Amino acid sequence: MGLEPLFQAWSYFRRRKFRECADVCSQLLEGPPGEQELDSEYTVFQAAWNLKTRALTEMVYVDEIDMDQEGIAEMILDENAIAQVARPGTSLKLPGTSQGGGPSPAVRPVTQSGRPITGFVRPSTQGGRPSTMEQAIRTPRTALTARPITSASGGYVRPGTASLITNPDGPFINLSRLNLTKYAQKPKLAKALFEYIFHHENDIKNALDLAALATEYAQFKDWWWKVQIGKCYYRLGLYREAEKQFKSALKQQDMVDTILYLAKVYLRLDQPVTALNLFKQGLERFPGEVTLLCGIARIYEEMNNISSAAEYYKDVLKQDNTHVEAIACIGSNHFYSDQPEIALRFYRRLLQMGVYNCQLFNNLGLCCFYAQQYDMTLSSFERALFLAENEEETADVWYNLGHVAVGIGDLNLAYQCFKLTLVNNNDYAEAYNNLAVLEMRKGHIEQARALLQTAASLAPHMYEPHFNVAILSEKVGDLQRSYTAAQKSEEAFPGHVDTQQLIRQLKEHFAML
Amino acid sequence: MSLFKARDWWSTILGEKEEFDQGCLCVADVDNSGSGQDKVIVGSYKGYLRIFNPHPVKPGDEVQPEDLLLEVQLREPILQVEVGKFVSGTEGLHLAVLHCRKLCVYAVSGTQGNVEHGNQYQIKLMYEHNLQRTACNMTYGPFGGVKGRDLICIQSMDGMLMLFEQESYAFGRFLPGFLLPGPLAYSSRTDSFITVSSCQQVESYKYQVLACATDADERHDTEQRKLSSGKRLVVDWVLNIGEQALDICVASFNQGVSSVFVLGERNFFCLKDNGQIRFMKKLDYSPSCFIPYCSVREGTINTLIANHNKILNVYQDVTLKWATQIPCIPVSVKVANFQDLKGVIVTLSDDGHLQCSYLGTDPSLFQAPKVDSREINYEEMNAEMKELQKIIREATKTQDILPESEKQRDVTVTAEVSPDLDEESGISNRDFTFSEGTQRSVLCILICHRNDKSFHVNSVFINLMQAIDSEVKAGAVPSVTVKITIRSRVTAQKPSLAVCVQAPLAVTCDQFVFNDLEPDSSETVVLSVFLKENCSPPELEGTCIVSYNIPTELNPEGIPRVSQCNFSLPLKLVCIPAQPSKAASHKITIDTNKPPISFITIFPDFVDPSEGDQANALGFQFLAGSKTTLLASKTSQRYRIQSDQLEDLWLVTKELIHRLKEHFRKQNCKDFACTFSGSIPLQEYFELIDRHFELRLNAEKYQEMLSERAVQFRAIERRLLTRFKDKTPAPLQHLDTLLEGTFREVIALADAAEENQANIFQAFAKLKSATHLLIMLISLWQKLNTDQIAILEATFLPLAEDTQELGWEETVDAAVSYLLRTCLSKSSKEQALTLSSQLSMPKDTSRLKKNITLFCDRLAKGGRLSLSTDSATQQAAVMPGGCATIPESDLEERTIIPGSTAVFPSHGQTTKQKSKPGGVVCRLIKGTSVQLCII
């Protein structure tokens, strides 16, 4: 009593037991050589081949929409830019294009590009876009902001190497020996083969060839092939061509994925407003689609329009109240708008849902502290330290512990915490700044100044070190240095009242002289 | 991610190591009891057929034996079980069981037993069909609109639909373009079969069309099947969904519109009858199975979707209504009505976990593991805390990193420089004695040894290794052997030795790694020092540093320690005796207070003894420099050193004074002193500064040009890229030539910049020599004590490397002007001036020259070099900007030139600041909430 092997493999595939499925298929494929012809209309061989291709693809499948990495070369050699200086509110490249509603950097920390930090790490939230190659190379590159030179050398490499691991006898399909034209005329094989080449082998050029032949064979009537060609073009950096393909596919068939791909192209072309409109059109066709809502919220967040972003995140939660990203973002939003109690509720919800990591406990600890629930603060941080997986996370937790220590007035503890932060991650500009403030209180002016200079060189986008240098120099009587530092601070954060006051004061002083 | 978990109502685990899949679960009132109470029918791939009637006394109870109504083992694997009106002449429900090659229909009946719980159930085979092809799945329904009975359609693995009208076989049809079977469903409204083909399309076939098409069984030959195009199977409608589907359901509730639900691998679709999308939802998880179960609100349909994250989601159209955790990944989910409970969710996992559950607000309690923390004993903790605080206070009282005092040294390192030069130096520039092959094999041996971890340094190998080209343009480059011994009194782990000499000198091997040292053991290495580059070294000194770990009780990994020693190299390493020459452009005269000594006594290694005692002139030919002549006055107590180049005077002068002092120390003559009366050769010195500065300016120019060319290169690249990307390729218009030209320019510029770099290095070495000479002359002239000499050295020889961003000129300028403003200042007004905060490259050297001249003037007028405590707080400003962040390099540099630490005040002295009025208001950065990572 036994099952038919092909049926067994088919059943394994449906239950996502891909390893077993591929093994059974391999046995089937080792049959007599006479059957190993893909030309005939239907054979068990063909079916097994197809199933194995799909199983191998599924093993390494990553949704292409989530894959996003922009290398330095792509940013610099960007020939798609329409205007050198975009108008406010139409570009993601200019940091200061806030349309109001967002908290100031005094309250919410910003990333290197001047955008408020978000509550959820996504592939595209790393760092900003430098304007020239020189600046790109000189930007302080810490472990967390390192950017590949080109996207071809970045994260895409990882999926492609899967082919080396899965089969010790060599690749399952030898791409160089494939007759793509022949396969393109067999739609049922071609689609699986394409996904295999794209996801498993990561060979975009061959994938594009196959897709081009197949769409021709289908007389340009199959939207799926157009989307695939668009995906290939996107990977190759041909954004305008990709846009054409996606648009053409959307004309044939409305699909959520196509909309997401097209929006991704627009974002890469730095046209957030077009992407927003596209998403909104998509929402009319697919009302309540979570991925579209979430896309809108992300764009608003990147454009520094926090209140709109929060609205859309709330809409996401109305559709899907287990959406971790939305909960985390709303939570961090509440935290930075001085409502730690509400943020606490969101983070607690995440905890109840089973999120269990260092970041969450760290945030819980901070919320507890600001919500004056001191009993929970230290135990949360203790757990966060326990759960920290790498030194950067440990550094974050120690930094926040130091901050709590400052809050309760235990400056010795704070000093030691900041020192520990720097032990774990010596690129931590905030810790340098805070340590400098503590040193200043001790009266070690020179040490404080050195620390502040380090902080400023590590994180030129922060205004605090510049401002602190300005204050420090002003107290010492070094007005000239104070003035230059204050100007740098104003550049980093134009709306900072204290800086403006200081500059005014200094100007008056200079006028008196 | 879910807040709640499904409440267990009844659950059991079926069999052992049995496999189940999608079709293996069915829920129906199979025994026609009429009570409306559903039974759960489960078939397995092992061939077991089980029927359950769950009725727990209270939710979550153990399974009662009488819950299992029936368990039989059939002879073949069960692929699918369905319940419907399969037997003609009756409307009662019967059980259809699909095997690989057989379809059986059974009647299930129960007979009342004699005792209360003694009902007896049995199955009776009504009919069976043997199948020609391997079956895959089946569907049933009133095909063709028949009333009161269900027909069965079986899909085979090779794409044939076989239709059975109850006891009789009706017909079979091949699906066109078939490769792998997809899910199959029958829609009674449109009377059609819906499946998802391998082309990733939802396809609908009308029953009528199927019935009329050519019979597949009559023509087995595929060729003929193709030819019979008369009645080809025509598809009713097609929808391309772009992915494979897991399951299809056709559902209509409460006379609402009927919809076709397709669960794809990544999306969930709801289609209209005509194949248009009503709505779709992108799923961010891998679904495993689903069922649309009812319509709660008008126009919407509720669906249960289970996924591989063990979550069961309840959707109302696309809105998530509920999410609940379930204990395993289900392969099939159904909704059943039991006696006292309606709408029970029945799930079956692929390893046979059958569960009936209902939704509830039972929190899915996630028990966070306990943090590994100690039991709190406050007294002990207080004590430990105090102790730690004490240690920390001790550590912060002194500077963070401070060399240990000598007496605690557990590992000592000594260096012994052999008095004579090597007889056969392995270094040569022309007659290279070892062939390439030899060198390579030696390298191999070394590498093998290293891999064994039994690497013992062998001087022979090292000497072979040192066959390194020297750039010096002389016949044979001399080398001197240095023997370094490490002695350890304790266990030292991972000792490694680094030997460093200042370029242009070089050592044959500068890194050694040893095995762990036992207590009271020693290791010795031998290496050679030689002049590598074509200029004279400013210092004839070297340092060797041993780093090792000493394990302690608390820290078995060991505490890192270092110990070091300095050694000085003989003058003969860089110069050879030569004929003295009378004429020279630079001369300095050193006065002493003792009669002159014969050169035979003090320079025995340079004077040929055959020349007798009349040698009052001595010539030194530098390997990479000019000739220097030393003259001793016969009458007065003077020595004259003369050379064509200022910087070459330094080493000879130093050697002379050193040897004179040694000589008189041996003779116990304590009041020996050297003086210098003549004017300081500032003009010549300034020429050297200018030379160095000019090269720096050149370097800056090169850098600017390089960046310009690079920008140009990228601009051309960009142009080319747009050209190549164009659909209609435009002519390149010589852009490629331009690109190549620019590339060559970039390369040529880079080469020139490199050459300039080498020149800067040589110029800096000369400048350093001259600076040493200057310091020595000033100290002899003004009779400075050692502290003052240290200040002078720290001023003129900054620890920082000479780089483009922070060069020697601005550093020395800052230091000199600081001294001028503090201890050498004439009035208090000068002291008030502040330093410019950033050190940057000056435009020219006139300011520096002026300051140095002024510095010498002030010293001549009786200025005293001292660093009193009141100016100590300002002192650190002399440190090159922002270098305080890297304490390691600080240490390293400090160890190279000991004694220069005097310039750095310890930070404990700054008491003055406390009296400052008010606290400085500074901004702390608020605690940052950390971004959540993707879970």
Q: A443 and B371 in contact by Cβ < 8 A?
A: no
Inform me whether the C-beta atom of residue B324 falls under 8 Å from chain A C-beta atoms. Answer: no
Of B157, B180, B280, the CB nearest to A50: B180
pLDDT band at B398 (very low <50, low <70, confident <90, very high): low
Distance CA B795, CA B824 (A): 13
Residue B923 has pLDDT above 70, yes or no: no
**Mean pLDDT, chain B, as a whole number?**
78
Q: What pLDDT shows up at residue B551?
A: 78
Q: What pLDDT shows up at residue B371?
A: 65
Chain B residues inside the 8 Å CB shell of A436:
922
Chain A residues inside the 8 Å CB shell of B932:
119-121, 324, 328, 350, 355, 357, 359-360, 363
**Architecture of the domain delimited by B414-573:** Sandwich (2.60)
Inform me whether the C-beta atom of residue B393 falls under 8 Å from chain A C-beta atoms. Answer: no
Q: What pLDDT shows up at residue A146?
A: 47
DSSP string of B737-772? HHHHHHHHHHHHHHHHHHHHHHHHHHHHHHHHHHHH
Distance CA B881, CA B871 (A): 19
CA separation (Å) from B719 to A241, B722, B734, B822? 18, 5, 11, 59
Q: B199 and A63 in contact by Cβ < 8 A?
A: no
Extents of the domains making up chain B: 4-362, 414-573, 575-675, 784-905
Q: Does domain B4-362 have CATH number 3.30.930.10?
A: no
Chain pair A-B, CB pairs under 8 angstroms: 283
Strand partners, B107: B124
Of B226, B389, B927, the CB nearest to A400: B927
Q: B920 and A472 in contact by Cβ < 8 A?
A: yes
Inform me whether the C-beta atom of residue A215 falls under 8 Å from chain B C-beta atoms. Answer: no
Inform me whether the C-beta atom of residue A151 falls under 8 Å from chain B C-beta atoms. Answer: no
Chain A residues inside the 8 Å CB shell of B884:
447, 450-451, 454
Query: Residue B704 is inside which H or E element, if any?
Result: helix B682-725
The C-alpha angle A189, A191, A196, rounded to 5 degrees, equals 95
Q: What is the mean pLDDT of residues B548-571?
A: 80
Q: What is the mean pLDDT of residues B138-144?
A: 91
Nearest chain A CA: its distance from B22 CA (Å): 9
Chain A residues inside the 8 Å CB shell of B46:
1
A157 CB neighbour count, 10 Å cutoff: 12
Inform me whether the C-beta atom of residue A224 falls under 8 Å from chain B C-beta atoms. Answer: yes
Residue B409 has pLDDT above 80, yes or no: no
Q: A288 and B364 in contact by Cβ < 8 A?
A: no
Tens of pLDDT, residue by residue over A341-383, are 999 999 988 888 888 888 889 989 989 998 988 888 988 898 8
Chain A residue closest to B268 (CA)?
A256
B401 CB neighbour count, 10 Å cutoff: 11
Q: Which residues are CB-contacts of A280 (< 8 A; sequence separation ≥ 6)?
A: A296
Q: What pLDDT shows up at residue B851?
A: 87
Q: Where are the beta strands (DSSP E) in B53-166?
A: 68-73, 80-84, 94-98, 102-111, 120-130, 135-141, 151-156, 160-165
Inform me whether the C-beta atom of residue A191 falls under 8 Å from chain B C-beta atoms. Answer: yes
Extents of the domains making up chain A: 1-60
CA separation (Å) from A187 to A181, B178, B202? 11, 11, 14
Tens of pLDDT, residue by residue over A115-163, are 566 667 665 544 444 445 555 555 544 444 445 555 554 445 444 444 4
pLDDT band at A210 (very low <50, low <70, confident <90, very high): very high
Q: What pLDDT shows up at residue A214?
A: 92
Of A7, A189, A191, the CB nearest to B136: A7
Nearest chain A CA: its distance from B503 CA (Å): 30
Of A288, A434, A441, the CB nearest to B318: A288
| Helix axis angle, A445-458 to A429-442, nearest 10° | 170
Distance CA A493, CA A488 (A): 9
Q: What pTM does this model have?
A: 0.72
Higher pLDDT, B682 or A153: B682
> What part of B 266-295 touches A (C-beta under 8 Å)?
266-267, 277, 279-282, 284, 286, 288
Q: What is the mean pLDDT of residues A388-403?
A: 88
Secondary-structure percent of chain A, ordered helix, strand, coil, rounded to 5: 65, 0, 30
Query: Residue B262 is inside which H or E element, if any?
Result: strand B259-264
Distance CA B858, CA A443 (A): 34
On the 0-12 / 13-18 / 19+ scale of CB atoms within 10 A, B13 is middle
Q: What pLDDT shows up at residue A315?
A: 93
Chain A residues inside the 8 Å CB shell of B305:
none
Tens of pLDDT, residue by residue over B164-182, are 988 888 888 888 888 889 9
Q: Do A211 and A185 contact (CB within 8 A), yes or no?
A: no
Q: B873 and A396 in contact by Cβ < 8 A?
A: no
Q: Do A120 and A328 contact (CB within 8 A), yes or no?
A: yes
Q: Which of B303, B746, B930 to mutate to probe the A interface, most A CBs <10 Å? A: B930
Q: A254 and B913 in contact by Cβ < 8 A?
A: no
Higher pLDDT, A26 or B398: A26
Nearest partner of A182 among A155, A202, A209, A146, judged by Cα: A209
Q: What is the mean pLDDT of residues B872-894?
A: 35
Q: Which of B2, B386, B707, B929 to mutate to probe the A interface, most A CBs <10 Å? A: B929
Of B1, B266, B873, the CB nearest to A353: B1
Residue B451 has pLDDT above 70, yes or no: no
Q: B910 and A444 in contact by Cβ < 8 A?
A: yes
- Poorest-pLDDT segment among B439-453, B567-581, B609-623: B439-453
Chain B residue closest to A38 (CA)?
B179
Q: What is the mean pLDDT of residues A469-490?
A: 88
Residue B466 has pLDDT above 70, yes or no: no
pLDDT band at B7 (very low <50, low <70, confident <90, very high): confident
On the 0-12 / 13-18 / 19+ scale of CB atoms within 10 A, B267 is buried
Chain B residues inside the 8 Å CB shell of A192:
198
Nearest partner of A140 among A494, A457, A388, judged by Cα: A457
Residue B288 has pLDDT above 90, yes or no: yes
Q: Which residues are CB-contacts of B662 (< 8 A; sequence separation ≥ 6)?
A: none
Distance CA B182, CA B196 (A): 5
Q: What pLDDT shows up at residue A118?
A: 65
Tens of pLDDT, residue by residue over A43-62, are 788 888 889 999 988 888 87
Q: What is the mean pLDDT of residues A269-297?
A: 91
Inform me whether the C-beta atom of residue B100 falls under 8 Å from chain A C-beta atoms. Answer: yes
Nearest chain B CA: its distance from A163 CA (Å): 22
Q: B1 and A324 in contact by Cβ < 8 A?
A: yes
Higher pLDDT, A34 or B483: B483
pLDDT band at B251 (very low <50, low <70, confident <90, very high): confident
Chain B residue closest to A292 (CA)?
B282
Q: What pLDDT shows up at residue A418?
A: 92
Distance CA A285, CA A255 (A): 9
Of A16, A50, A291, the CB nearest to B308: A16
Higher pLDDT, A82 or A54: A54
Q: What is the mean pLDDT of residues B96-103?
A: 92
**Architecture of the domain delimited by B575-675:** 2-Layer Sandwich (3.30)
Match 């800067």 to its residue by tokens: B760
pLDDT band at B920 (very low <50, low <70, confident <90, very high): very low
